[in-house]
Amino acid sequence: MTDPAVDPLGDAVEQLVGWLDGARTLPEQTERIMRIMKLSEEVGESCATS
């Protein structure tokens, strides 16, 4: 794990991934696909507003 003083965003992302992994209810591969789809959606929305 990275030092939060050096990379606070990276640490926050690692904590979020851990939290999501701990709450997984679907098969791992399905969860991964759903996360990629959600990220793609958010990127698209971000690009549309800029």
DSSP assignments along 1-50, one per residue: ---TTT-HHHHHHHHHHHHHHHT--S-HHHHHHHHHHHHHHHHHHHHHH-
Read off the pLDDT band of 4 (50, 70, 90): low
What percentage of the chain has pLDDT greater than the value 70? 90
Residue with tokens 């959600």: 38
Say what the pTM is: 0.64
Q: How far, in Å, are 15, 28, 35 from residue 25 at the CA level?
A: 18, 9, 13
| Residue range 7-34: mean pLDDT, rounded | 93
| Average pLDDT along the chain | 88
State the pLDDT confidence band at 6, using cuts at 50, 70 and 90: confident
